[in-house]
Structures are given as structure tokens and as C-alpha cells.
Amino acid sequence: MAAIDTAVLGDWVSRFGTAVTEKRDWLTELDSAIGDADHGANMARGMSAVAEKLSAGTPATVDDLLKTVGMTLVSSVGGASGPLYGTFFLRMGMAAGPVTELDGPGLAAALRAGLDGIVARGKAEAGDKTMFDAMAPGVDALDAALGDGASLADAVRAAAEAAATGRDATMPLVARKGRASYLGERSAGHLDPGAASTAILFDTLAAAVAGSAG
Ligand code: ADP
Ligand code: MG
């Protein structure tokens, strides 16, 4: 398959919502170690508001779909992750434009724009122990796999693996952004909750793309 349409993107959003709801307690446990124990609740609340918003049907164009997701997250999640994930989806939608499908390079460019939006908003850099540390390797791996001629399905699977590796690599880091940075050295030895939810974001993207092939 060379492209994904709004139905696959809608399936991604829905799978992400289901997964963060299933993993709510784990995400909250991670946040209780280095934050304020609300990341699971924040993500589950935001994505359930998104599901509610999309229950009338998936918007016809990629930008309408992703902008709706982004605006709903910004308005329904109070924590740092709401504006950050909200900006990610908004920027992704703006980059995609009023199209009905994305090919591999189009998906990679949209994800890159979403990542840039998170950086513009939160100023995170590599190694700050944030969602950036899972997302940047994921987007880089997608670009690299597509550049090597991988199929879209294989490329998003490689991106999901890189995001999971990036999540695991946050364990020893000392947080330099967000609430966890207040802990200083004591933030080391724990996974970053936002990196954990971002690995789920990429895993569910790979699942949605794989699901559409069969
Ligand atoms: P809050 O920190 O307001 O309680 P959440 O617990 O929902 O919000 O989200 C925390 C996650 O947000 C962190 O684990 C981290 O990945 C991410 N985060 C926090 N600040 C930033 C930032 N400036 N840039 C990127 N990600 C950030
Ligand atoms: Mg929190």
C-alpha cells in the first residue's frame, strides 16, 4: 500500500484512544514517579473527548480530521500534554492540507511538522527526557526507512520500534523540561510518561496502517 486515507488516520486516532485508556494506570504510575500522577488521566480524558467529537463520522479531509483532534485535545486537557499533543495534531493537519490521503513522504512530512510544533511550543531538545525523545527518533526512522525504499507499512513499523527505543532511553536521563525537571537528579531511573504515550502513538499508527493492508 502506497498511501493511507482519512479512514486509516481515523482508525489510528481511535486505536490511540483505546490504547491510552487501556494503559491509563501505567501512564499515571510513570507520572507519579516523576510528576503529578495525571498523565494517564489526561490522555484518556483528551482522547475520549476526541472519540466523542468524531462519533458523528470521520471528517472528509486529512486536515479537518487532524485539526479536530488537535483542537479537542487543547480544549479538554489541562496538563502540559494537552497543548503539546494538540499542537502536534494541529500542525500535522496544517502540513497535510485538504487532501483525502497521504503517501509515505506526505505522512513523514506531516509528522515532522507535528514534531516541529511540539518543539516550537515546549522548546524540548534531545535528551531533555520528554515526549520529544520518543517522537524525534520515530520521525527520523520513518524518513530513513522511506529513503531506503521500504513500504509504508514497514516504514511505520520501523518508526514505532525507534519510538519505543527512544522511550526506553529516557530511563537514565535527568529531566530538563516540564514538571519532572523540578526533581533534578531524582528524575533519573524512571521512564518519561510523555515518551511512553508517544511510543503508543507510533505503535498504533503502525497497527492502523498494517490493519488497512489486509
Ligand atoms: P503535566 O506535566 O502538566 O502534569 P502530563 O503529566 O499530562 O502534564 O504530561 C507530562 C509529559 O509532558 C512529560 O512526561 C513530558 O513528556 C511532556 N512534556 C512536559 N513538558 C514538555 C516540554 N516542554 N516539551 C515537550 N514535552 C514536554
Ligand atoms: Mg502530569
Three-state SS annotation for the chain: CCEEEHHHHHHHHHHHHHHHHHCHHHHHHHHHHHCCCCHHHHHHHHHHHHHHHHCCCCCCCHHHHHHHHHHHHHHHCCCCHHHHHHHHHHHHHHHHCCCCEEEHHHHHHHHHHHHHHHHHHHCCCCCCCCCHHHHHHHHHHHHHHHHCCCCHHHHHHHHHHHHHHHHHCCCCCCCCCCHHHHHHHHHCCCCCHHHHHHHHHHHHHHHHHHHHHC
pLDDT 10s digits, 55-106:
999 999 999 999 999 999 999 998 999 999 999 999 999 999 999 999 999 9
Ligand 1, atom nearest to 192 Cα: 14
Ligand 1, atom nearest to 77 Cα: 7
pLDDT 10s digits, 119-130:
999 999 999 999
pLDDT score, position 212: 83
pLDDT at 214 over 60: no
pLDDT score, position 189: 97
127 three-class SS = coil
pLDDT score, position 213: 64
- Would you put residue 127 in left (φ > 0), alpha (ψ -120 to 50) or beta? left
pLDDT score, position 1: 60
C-alpha cell at 194: 510523555
pLDDT score, position 2: 85
| Region 10-33 average pLDDT | 98
pLDDT score, position 78: 87
Would you say the CB of residue 104 lies under 6 angstroms from ligand 1? no
Would you say the CB of residue 46 lies under 6 angstroms from ligand 1? no
Domains and CATH numbers, the chain: 3-213 (1.25.40.340)
pLDDT 10s digits, 135-178:
999 999 999 999 999 999 999 999 999 999 999 999 999 999 99
Ligand 1 center–CA 107 separation, angstroms: 24
